[in-house]
């Protein structure tokens, strides 16, 4: 793999964003967290119920309405003094990712999804990155429009990559789980393709949105955070349905390649997939782990003591309620080195800002 082209680019020294007046201070807090220097403190995202979120994916594939939804969401939120950063991802939906490889894309109530196109591995050699692909060109168009809307107001990041088995599931559907046993050799070839394809797609987008992506010595990322370096957001969702041995063989080597290329990575998983954590923690260059609550499993907040034992000092992002956060602050019981995501249980902007004063003052 060639040297990352983005490492040679000139990045803005320090960005100012209209929709995050205290941007510099908040990035300083993110820098401490994601470089493992906030073990005795915490970050928090606080979503007031009086500010309902207009999901841009509801407006797919209308690029102008999608970007306008992000602009509205962050404009009305500018007085919330929490650690969330106003980052808009340029995305038609992760399920529509197959369109970048020629799959038919459909939209239902806005959200996009693609029909699996790889009926057999006989078609594997035909898969390639095609700059003339309809959806790759749409992605470029979306990146350019988002940048025009976002400049000076909010930040941007690329669409979510589909790593490893995630991409195989997009291309093969439920056959991905049989492929582990029936076609392991071909599957490894497709996984290697996924690494190369995702890297090229990420670099393509970053070249366009760079003025709203890079800031100081780092980069804005999908889950409304800032990370040092060039680390991409990565997901192990499909691996979460498999045993840890499957992840060790069919996941770790390919995730590591991507992290090596970008100099690091940030991993997203669901609370139903915590059995993968021992393997994930072995990744070199791992900056952090986000554990998203799964409705069919125990919540990450409930599992946090167990999770922290496995992850040691690796920074975490964990869902919780406003009430859980407030109680933990009062009791001094919240583990440090964590960004707590309180998406529910906070009524107003004033409530959020009062709670945020306690977050900033919290110290173990």
3: in domain: no
Nearest to 353 by CA among 50, 27, 69, 86: 50
203: in domain: yes
The domain that contains 26 carries what CATH number? Answer: 3.20.20.210
2: in domain: no
Confidence at residue 111, expressed as pLDDT on a 0 to 100 scale: 67
**Total structural domains in the chain?**
1
1: in domain: no
Confidence at residue 24, expressed as pLDDT on a 0 to 100 scale: 97
Biggest CA–CA distance in the chain, Å, is 60
* Domain limits for position 267: 15-361
10: in domain: no
Confidence at residue 12, expressed as pLDDT on a 0 to 100 scale: 53
9: in domain: no
59: in domain: yes
Confidence at residue 216, expressed as pLDDT on a 0 to 100 scale: 93
- Return left, alpha or beta for 121; rule: phi > 0 is left, psi -120 to 50 is alpha, else beta: alpha
Confidence at residue 120, expressed as pLDDT on a 0 to 100 scale: 95
Taking the chain (364 residues) in runs of 10, the rounded mean pLDDT of each run is 44 84 98 98 98 94 97 98 98 92 85 85 95 97 98 97 95 96 98 98 98 97 98 97 97 98 98 98 98 96 97 98 98 98 98 98 96
254: in domain: yes
């Amino acid at each position: 793999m060639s040297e990352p082209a983005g490492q040679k680019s000139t990045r803005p020294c320090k960005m100012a964003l209209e929709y995050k007046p205290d941007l510099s201070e908040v990035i300083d807090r993110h820098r401490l967290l994601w470089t493992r220097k906030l073990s005795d403190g915490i970050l928090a995202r606080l979503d007031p119920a009086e500010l309902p979120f207009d999901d841009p994916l509801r407006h797919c594939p209308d690029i102008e309405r999608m970007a306008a939804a992000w602009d509205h969401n962050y404009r009305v939120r500018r007085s919330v003094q929490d650690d969330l950063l106003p980052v808009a991802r340029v995305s038609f939906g992760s399920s529509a990712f197959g369109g970048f490889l020629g799959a038919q894309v459909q939209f239902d109530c806005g959200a996009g999804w693609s029909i699996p196109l790889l009926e057999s591995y006989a078609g594997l050699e035909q898969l390639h990155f095609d700059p003339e692909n309809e959806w790759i060109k749409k992605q470029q168009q979306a990146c350019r429009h988002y940048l025009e809307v976002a400049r000076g107001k909010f930040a941007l990041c690329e669409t979510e990559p589909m790593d490893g088995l995630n991409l195989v599931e997009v291309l093969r559907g439920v056959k991905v789980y049989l492929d582990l046993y029936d076609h392991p050799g071909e599957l490894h070839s497709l996984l290697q393709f996924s690494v190369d394809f995702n890297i090229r797609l990420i670099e393509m987008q970053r070249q366009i949105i760079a003025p709203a992506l890079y800031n100081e010595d780092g980069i804005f990322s999908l889950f409304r955070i800032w990370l040092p370096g060039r680390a991409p957001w990565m997901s192990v969702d499909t691996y979460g349905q498999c045993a840890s041995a499957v992840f060790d063989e069919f996941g770790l080597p390919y995730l590591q390649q991507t992290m090596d290329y970008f100099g690091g990575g940030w991993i997203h998983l669901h609370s139903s997939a915590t059995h993968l954590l021992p393997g994930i923690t072995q990744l070199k260059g791992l900056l952090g782990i986000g554990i998203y609550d799964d409705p069919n499993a125990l919540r990450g907040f409930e599992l946090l003591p167990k999770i922290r034992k496995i992850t040691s000092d690796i920074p975490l992002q964990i869902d919780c309620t406003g009430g859980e956060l407030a109680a933990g602050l009062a009791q001094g019981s919240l583990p440090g080195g964590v960004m707590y995501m309180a998406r529910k249980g906070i009524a107003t902007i004033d409530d959020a800002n009062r709670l945020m004063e306690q977050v900033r003052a919290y110290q173990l």
